Chains A and B, each alone.
Chain A
Amino acid sequence: MSKQYETVIGLEVHVELATKTKIFCSCSTEFGGAPNTHTCPVCTGMPGSLPVLNKQVVEYAMAVGLAANCKINQDSKFDRKNYFYPDNPQNYQISQLYLPICHDGYVEIDTSAGKKKIGIHEIHMEEDAGKLIHDEWDDCSLVDFNRSGVPLIEIVSEPDMRSGEEVNAYLEKLRLIIQYLGASDCKLQEGSMRADVNLSIREVGAKEFGTRTEMKNLNSFKAISRAIEGERKRQIELIEEGKMITQETRRWDDNKESSYAMRSKEDAKDYRYFPDPDLPPIVISDEWIKSIQDRQPELRTEKMARYQDVFNLSEYDADIITGSKHIADIFEAVTELCGKPKEVANWLMVEAMRLLKEHEMEPEKMCFSPENLAKLIQLVDNGTINRTVAKEVFERIFAENVDPEKYVEEKGLKVVNDEGQLRETIQGIIDANPQSVADYHSGKEKAMGFLVGQTMKAMKGKAGPALVNQIVKELLG
């Protein structure tokens, strides 16, 4: 490759909001459920039905906009986006084109080259589509409208990103902001956060943007990275061959790791947007904005600072703990109960993280009660159990939320503090290992460690290490 190319990326991120009901009707947004059991005349586009806006949707959209440094459009309205597809019951999607609720914001990301601002062009509210199930046996598709009308915000970035790394940092940043606000759980697997990638290539130093393509259907960070890499290569190859890039929508197939154009004469891509006559405008007063601002919860940056300040965590620890709102919530709850922030942080960062990785779980799925971790920390602290046992108990807490006090009692895992029994065992070990005793007396400190280890093994880990040390020393004379 002779020329140097730069990748220019903009993102359209769809986030499902954490409301109880859909955006325009009182149906539940609960995930799952048998097909069409969460539907009504409104979200299935029955003739004569009319939409009524869920206020919570507006408030969540505003909260996200404010957290992303956006300006709020104090006059906002809904438009209809017209296109035919069976997952779209009215054959128009109620969305916002002309006056989206938020515009002109940014978020700051950390890159290898330092901090960088990614511009946010706008955030608009819209309704989700239903789900199509492809029935291979019957050679047909089946439509389930349970998702139809679930509220979304679409966050449209400026074309400010230059690499997959920046894209990931941006998405991670958005995810954290939104999770902290409680506006969405941002679960990629369940599709509550999805991204379309707009990508173009230009020579380094060029002022004009190249022709961009839009890639849809990206629902994991990994798929997004792969799609960016694949599309970047495809476009560079075309340019090198002297071919033109076609402005088009492409569908990423993550299994084949390639994209294909979604071209059809029937998709004219002329959406005929116009203001929805069924929905009066939204007028947002200064007071309303202020009340949302006043209710904004502590976001990640503030939380990190507080953890360092109040709990004396290192920046590194605070960064990891706040990397998931859920983990931060557990951290605070456990700390509140046991008053040992350092200990709590250690359990979460070492053992919890290890188990999450082992089980390939998202932190949000961790569901033990803070009381049980607090109790565990107490048990270690007052010497009832030792660390080795504690790790084993933590695994039970993590897996099935056991009460550590009961568990330790039932399984007989308490540290043995009966000095008589311990002396007896140690004497036995000293007698059985004359070589180690000799080594010790000739100045080899390691020999003492061996004897302590043997003792612990014999006690099945339930002996207090301090006491064992003391007795071994004493008996060795």
Chain B
Amino acid sequence: MTEKDILSLTAVGLGKKIKEKEVTVLEAVKAVMDQIKDMEPVLNSFVTVEEEYAFTQAEAVQKRIDAGELTGPLAGVPVAIKDNICVKDMKTTCSSNILADFVPTYTATAVDNLIKAGAIIIGKTNMDEFAMGSTTETSAFGPTKNPWNIEHVPGGSSGGSCAAVSASESYYALGSDTGGSIRQPASYCGVTGLKPTYGTISRYGLIAYGSSLDQIGPVAKDVTDCAAILEVLASHDPKDSTSVEREDYSFLDALTGEVKGLKVGIPADYLSEGLNEEVKEAVLKAAKILEEKGAVVETFDLGKVKYAIPAYYIIASAEASSNLSRFDGVKYGFRAKEYSGLHGMYKKSRSQGFGAEVKRRIMLGSFVLSSGYYDAYYIKALKTKALIKKSFDDAFAKYDVILGPTAPTTAPKLNESLSDTLKMYLGDIYTIAVNLAGLPGLSIPFGTDQKGLPVGLQLIGDCFQEKNILRAGFALEGEHGYVMPKTAQLAISGREEK
């Protein structure tokens, strides 16, 4: 197979070809490494590329496949890991200067599960610093560009993971989603991203931002890949006390193409002001397709949606202020060169090590927890969370799936968002409530707008009902699905001409 053919495959597609001995693991790794070399100067999807490790792993995994020890659908398939997920002996920075040289001595459970399934880790992807941001512009190592148009952001915080998959620099990637950080960049980059039910994938080894909201999830080219990856990632982990033992881990079973009788609700709140007209049209078109395939589609009032963002920023910032206090220049990470005394060392190291957005959220989080404000802010936010959860419970009493947009617009231009952070926060309006309620959410690509930028659709399911959204997503993606952006295609054909 040519490199172009190899890179056009999905993760599951590649796994199959490897098993059938049409492609070797080494060829697959070489293909993504070639693509990375051509794309990285432009995109900056990666913080670290582990070329040597990847090739060594490729040989080892190939042997185990040949020996019949590795038989899963992802054996030998290259994967990129968001840089807030620990991999032993691999630099893990959270795209922050404070962790610029941090090398974990242990591996996250999610990554361990991948390694056991024969995945080849090719590197660590760029992100908003400590996952705080919606554009991947707050990275201390420079922004990632959107492969569809490099003047635009890839979204965030898992912008590096989504850009890498979109540009065929990797077959799939791990992201993390605290308020939409997988789904929103997936939608901006034209790839499929899944945020599973809270507790489905172990958080052990994920460097915490908002612990009650954080969840690791797959970024891939299509729904089938997402389901296959989820089967590998999902596990009950005794090292994570919030990990849930689930009854059913066979997500691929849901992909029948059949949606007859599926009850789909579209929140009227999600189609109101602020939503870009082209995105709205895409949602309505998807609704029509589902209806034609036998689903029952209705609009309804979800309610409380607008309160999700303020509640989220209180909870996430409060938890972050506490989670990030461990970065103090004592045990790991950056320590300022000059300081006076212990507290001087703390303040200088943290002030020089953290970027502006991280400091902003730590300050807000410390404030809302401080004496005299706790009840007014933090407790109020936890009560709002309870109300939002209730709204979803009511909705899922009537519907199997909630359909809506992933983000109000397609990808904005670079430097447009950071000047007005509140506006940037509002961009997460459709994704944030899902994290507060612990629900699974899937973003699938659904065509492009007039500017040629991808539009994403979001499917939300009830707790532990990933199968419903995977089923609906699978039925819809036939219409549009993954398209390789021009930049990536050009890089491949450029190499072929040589």
Contacts and interface: CB of A to CB of B under 8 A. Distances in A.
A92 B326 CA distance: 8
B312 interface: no
Residue of A44, A47, A270, A272 with highest tally of chain B CB at under 10 A: A47
Contacts of B92: 47
B331 A46 contact: yes
Given A41-B106, A47-B332, A272-B369, A89 B242 contact: no
A48 B212 contact: no
- If over half of B's interface residues share one DSSP class (helix, strand or loop), that class is named, otherwise mixed; here it is loop
B212 A47 contact: no
A274 interface: yes
Interface in B308-327: 318-319, 321-322, 325-327
Nearest to B379: A274
Interface in A59-117: 80, 82, 84, 86, 89-92
B105 interface: yes
Contact of B102 (A47, A266, A279): A47
Interface residues of B, number: 44
A265 B371 CA distance: 16
A89 B331 CA distance: 8
A41 B105 contact: yes
Contacts, number: 98
Given A47-B86, A47-B104, A50-B241, A277 B328 contact: no
A50 B332 CA distance: 17
Nearest to B372: A270
B104 A48 contact: yes
B238 interface: yes
B70 interface: no
Contacts of A274: 318-319, 322, 369, 374, 378
Interface in B77-110: 85-86, 92, 94, 99, 102, 104-106, 108
B212 A277 contact: yes
A467 interface: no
A258 to B, nearest CB: 25
A50 B205 CA distance: 8
A58 to B, nearest CB: 13
Contacts of A272: 321-322, 366, 369-371, 374
Given A44-B331, A89-B331, A274-B318, A50 B325 contact: no
A51 interface: yes
A50 B204 contact: yes
A37 to B, nearest CB: 15
Given A84-B346, A91-B325, A278 B204 contact: no
Interface string B352-369: 000000000000001001
B239 interface: yes
B116 to A, nearest CB: 19
A45 interface: yes
B330 interface: yes
Interface in A235-284: 266, 270, 272-274, 277-280
6 contacts: A45-B326, A45-B331, A47-B207, A50-B239, A90-B326, A274-B374
Interface of B: 85-86, 92, 94, 99, 102, 104-106, 108, 203-208, 210-212, 238-242, 318-319, 321-322, 325-328, 330-332, 342-343, 346, 366, 369-371, 374, 378
Interface of A: 41, 44-53, 80, 82, 84, 86, 89-92, 143, 266, 270, 272-274, 277-280
